[in-house]
Structure 1
Amino acid sequence: MASIEKHGPSWRVIWRYQGQKQRTTWATLDVAEEAKAIVEGYRGNRTAEQVYIDMGVLTPEVPVPTTPTYREWAEKWLGSKTRISPGSRARYKQQFRDHIFPTFGDTPIGDITTIAVGTWVNDLRAVMGSPKTVTRYYSAMFAPMKAAADQGIIPVNPCKATDFKRDQRADDDTGEHKAVYFTPHQFEQLRAAFPERWRVLLDTLVETGVRWGEVTALAKMHLVAPTKRTAARVRVWRAWKRGEGGQRYLGTTKGRAKRSLPIGRDLYDALAALVDGQPDDTLIFRRADGRELDYSDMYNDVWMPSLIAARRCATHPPAPRGEQLAGATGRCRDYGGTRDSGEPCGARVRPGTTRCPSHYGPARNAVSMCGCDGVLVIDQPASWHDLRHTCAAWLFSDPRMTPLMISRRLGHATLATTSDIYGDLMPDLEESAVDAIADARKSAQGTRGKGARRKR
């Protein structure tokens, strides 16, 4: 970035700033190297006069322009945003308050360096561990600094100059992406374990790839009946959001990616049956009282029990806690029984066993390890969102589907987002590119020389 060259009895430090050559001259090599370190510490974003000032050999005649502190600028930037939801605004405030302002809040944005940002990221990793969580805070730090650079308040965004990669760290180049991709057979095993009432919800998630907030916002008015010339469709035009106070409301989809998705006739008929005879604004998937579904409730009360049931074998059930013991009395803790927190359980044992009723038999989340036919086998926990990942995996496995078509169906703002999330599903497409080029060359070789006339 900066270089040192001998110039007569002195030494010059040379670099470029905003396209213009800068140079400072020093009496000794040691001093020149110190000046060079300053230039590179600012990644070249320093004039020769500023370097002389930094080295203490020049006093500025006018005050050096100051920049607002990060706190002042971030609050001003957030207040100017006109196209973010109340929930997003609340998350920015929380991120600034908890992990950005304590480090950079009182620092002028012009004094924030790439080294400082990189050090802060590493400190976050030590506290949080999760690369995805670190990425969210980095993105919150990045956005106001980008706006400051775009408006010329600072020469460059110091966050952009770091070597940070989304959801990744140097010793884990695959990031934290641990999606579960169900095979069609595994999905049917999972579906069979679900209550009949919720199977259409599973079908909708895996066939459309919509997000949880989108599928639970679908209403009767979003169903488009098939015609002789067109397939049935579902309009994904809205999603559940959270306001600054945590209340839920219906807003636009993520990235404002409204889309109208073709669906199969069987799925359309199943969805239409759920709202038959109901007003147009009736939610397709709803509680008994008609209100929207809550993710946590559905995860704990429906998803997890069904997933565990699919992973248990009737012939080889999970090992039970406790055992039958004639004449056993007393407390669960007397025989080693503990609560989920690990504390000894003081409940009375079930007569003739060594555990209380709550702790007798397999643990709540225990699954069979036999691998028998009919038992769902997956190597990591799964959630509702993994049905969206599964939909993407099935689409990528079909040669008729292009990444752009898949990106649009999933509602990603850009194709780059699809590539970042599902890049591990694309190697076959990359290999197909080799075959495509080879086929094109072969077709040309078969016609080489044809149609060309030699001038006489």
Structure 2
Amino acid sequence: MPKARPFKLKSGEVVWRIQFRIDGKVKTETLPDKGAADQFAAWVGKYGGKAARELLAKRDASGHQIPTLAEWTATYLSPESGILTGIQPGTRRGYERMTNAFLPLLGDHPIDAITRDDIGQWVHWVEQQPSGSRKGQTVAPKTVANYRALLSNIFTAAKERKLISDNPVSGVRITRGQSREGVFLTRDEFDVILEHVPNHYKPLVIFMANTGCRWGEATALTWSDIDRSKRTPTVSINKAWKKGVDGVPVLGVPKSAKGRRSIPLPQEVVDSLPPRQGGDQLVFHGVEGGRLWYGMFNTRIWKRAVEKANVGKTPNIHDLRHTYASWLLAAGAPLNAVQNKLGHEKIDTTISVYGHLAPGVDEDIVRVLDAMNRQRRAIEA
């Protein structure tokens, strides 16, 4: 990396010069103070001489009162700024980690100098990066979409505060990938998998398949949430595990306002529940007590059971939620009832995921269209 070196002018003033190359030719940049010179030298080492000069021109045009993307991102994510509120500490830390996807390329740029072309180049770059969890594959499209959404929110906050006139992320498209489709188990397939689940964990698996609860909701249940005094026993979903600081889970509210809900419990679930304990004790816990950890359960319990069952499908734990919805719809439950029990904020979500499972939908569509066509032919005749 080039170094900034002092140079004394005839006037006695000391400036700082950086020598570097562009297309093999030696160039020199002179800056008035060491801090700016060191920063420019770092840009040359990071981006190359030509890009460093373009970045310097952007900074000069913007003026130093306009923050860089790195500076504004730090402000946006800081709890003290009051910009990003209503999230768990662990979620904030997760956002901080996500910024590593765009700050290396864009962080030194003034936010008002970043263009849609810059964002488009970043999208092209990030889509080529290797996945951290899938060996031999690039970053998943869903992950890229999450990066883009965070970056867009950061620019939106800057626009709302009149630091920029437009959000450069808006309108920049990403490559759409093939998303994983949910797996729906039949009752027989579920029973086969359940046979291979160790006895201690069977009550949890039965509960999740018969209530549609998310993992974080089911494993946060305490005995006070279960009401067996009613004719139809129910469970109250009012809390869930959330990401805390450094990834350590903490109890929080469900995913959305609709997530706070009451779900009826079939007799199979009631009969399978472990022996009742104190009201504040976890219903489902580890063999030696304590909270259940998703990673351990998924690897040592669930995946092994699915592999041994060999039902021709590879459901993940969340697919028990899909399975619950499919059982309800097959039994004739209306979509809005399924929405309520799943805790979806909008019925659009329920329809987009499960609408194709609703019995009679195709027949109803064809019936309506046939009636319209008969009416049109009658008028023409």
Instruction: Answer yes or no: same fold by TM over 0.5.
Output: yes
Cα deviation, 1:191-236, whole Å, max 9, x if unaligned, reads 12222332221111111111111111111011022524xx321111
Secondary structure at the residue paired with 2:250? strand
Q: Which residue of 2 aligns with 1:90?
A: 93
Structure 2 vs 1, CA of residues 397 and 74 (structure 1 numbering), >3 Å: closer, same or farther?
farther
Q: Which residue of 2 aligns with 1:21?
A: none
Q: Which residue of 2 aligns with 1:250?
A: 251
Secondary structure at the residue paired with 1:213? helix
AA in 2 matched with 1:148: A
Quote the offset at 1:398 in angstroms: 4.6
Q: For 2:321 and 2:331, how far apart are their aligned partners in 1? A: 16
Question: Which residue of the other structure, out of 263, 267, 270, is the alignment partner of 1:268?
Answer: 270
Q: For 1:118 and 1:161, how far apart are their aligned partners in 2? A: 10
Q: Which residue of 2 aligns with 1:308?
A: 307
AA in 2 matched with 1:382: P
> Given that residues 69 and 109 in structure 1 are in contact (C-alpha distance below 8 angstroms), is that contact kept between their aligned partners in structure 2?
yes
Q: For 1:156 and 1:430, how far apart are their aligned partners in 2? A: 44
Secondary structure at the residue paired with 1:126? coil
Q: Which residue of 1 aligns with 2:48?
A: none
Structure 2 vs 1, CA of residues 414 and 153 (structure 1 numbering), >3 Å: closer, same or farther?
farther
Structure 2 vs 1, CA of residues 420 and 102 (structure 1 numbering), >3 Å: closer, same or farther?
farther
Matched, 1:120 2:122: yes
Structure 2 vs 1, CA of residues 246 and 309 (structure 1 numbering), >3 Å: closer, same or farther?
same
Structure 2 vs 1, CA of residues 437 and 68 (structure 1 numbering), >3 Å: closer, same or farther?
farther
Quote the offset at 1:183 in angstroms: 2.0
Q: For 2:183 and 2:271, how far apart are their aligned partners in 1? A: 28
Matched, 1:101 2:122: no
Structure 2 vs 1, CA of residues 217 and 64 (structure 1 numbering), >3 Å: closer, same or farther?
closer
**TM-score w.r.t. structure 2 length?**
0.70
Matched, 1:412 2:344: yes
Q: Which residue of 2 aligns with 1:77?
A: 76
Question: Which residue of the other structure, out of 152, 157, 164, is the alignment partner of 1:147?
Answer: 157
Secondary structure at the residue paired with 2:128? helix
Q: Which residue of 2 aligns with 1:27?
A: none
Q: Which residue of 2 aligns with 1:157?
A: 167
Quote the offset at 1:441 in angstroms: 10
Quote the offset at 1:431 in angstroms: 6.1
Structure 2 vs 1, CA of residues 114 and 422 (structure 1 numbering), >3 Å: closer, same or farther?
farther
Quote the offset at 1:69 in angstroms: 2.0
Q: Which residue of 2 aligns with 1:383?
A: 316
Secondary structure at the residue paired with 2:302? helix
Q: For 2:326 and 2:162, how far apart are their aligned partners in 1? A: 43
Q: For 1:124 and 1:193, how far apart are their aligned partners in 2? A: 41
> Given that residues 219 and 284 in structure 2 are in contact (C-alpha distance below 8 angstroms), is that contact kept between their aligned partners in structure 1?
yes
Q: For 2:286 and 2:93, how far apart are their aligned partners in 1? A: 28
Quote the offset at 1:92 in angstroms: 0.5
Q: For 1:227 and 1:253, how far apart are their aligned partners in 2? A: 24
Quote the offset at 1:95 in angstroms: 0.7
Secondary structure at the residue paired with 1:234? strand
Q: Which residue of 2 aligns with 1:133?
A: 143
> Given that residues 332 and 359 in structure 2 are in contact (C-alpha distance below 8 angstroms), is that contact kept between their aligned partners in structure 1?
no
Quote the offset at 1:83 in angstroms: 0.6
Q: Which residue of 2 aligns with 1:297?
A: 296
Identity of aligned residues (%): 30
> Bigger radius of gyration, 1 or 2?
1
Write out aligned runs for 1:349-364 (5 A). none
Structure 2 vs 1, CA of residues 224 and 156 (structure 1 numbering), >3 Å: closer, same or farther?
farther
Which residues of structure 1 form unaligned runs of 5+? 1-62, 312-375, 444-456
Q: For 1:426 and 1:116, how far apart are their aligned partners in 2? A: 45
Cα deviation, 1:150-175, whole Å, max 9, x if unaligned, reads 444333322221234xxx62xx4xx3
Q: For 1:125 and 1:76, how far apart are their aligned partners in 2? A: 27
Cα deviation, 1:91-134, whole Å, max 9, x if unaligned, reads 001111x2121122122222222232232222222113211221
Write out aligned runs for 1:7-18 (5 A). none
Q: For 2:97 and 2:143, how far apart are their aligned partners in 1? A: 13
Write out aligned runs for 1:336-375 (5 A). none
Quote the offset at 1:421 in angstroms: 4.8
Quote the offset at 1:68 in angstroms: 2.6
AA in 2 matched with 1:266: E
Structure 2 vs 1, CA of residues 156 and 253 (structure 1 numbering), >3 Å: closer, same or farther?
same
Secondary structure at the residue paired with 1:180? coil
Q: For 1:392 and 1:102, how far apart are their aligned partners in 2? A: 43
> Given that residues 218 and 285 in structure 1 are in contact (C-alpha distance below 8 angstroms), is that contact kept between their aligned partners in structure 2?
yes
Root mean square deviation, CA, Å: 3.1
> Given that residues 223 and 235 in structure 1 are in contact (C-alpha distance below 8 angstroms), is that contact kept between their aligned partners in structure 2?
yes
Q: For 1:397 and 1:161, how far apart are their aligned partners in 2? A: 40
Q: For 1:160 and 1:406, how far apart are their aligned partners in 2? A: 34
Matched, 1:201 2:204: yes
Secondary structure at the residue paired with 1:302? helix
Q: Which residue of 2 aligns with 1:320?
A: none
More helix by share: 2
Secondary structure at the residue paired with 1:143? helix
Quote the offset at 1:290 in angstroms: 2.1
Structure 2 vs 1, CA of residues 269 and 140 (structure 1 numbering), >3 Å: closer, same or farther?
same
Structure 2 vs 1, CA of residues 411 and 122 (structure 1 numbering), >3 Å: closer, same or farther?
farther
Q: Which residue of 2 aligns with 1:176?
A: 179
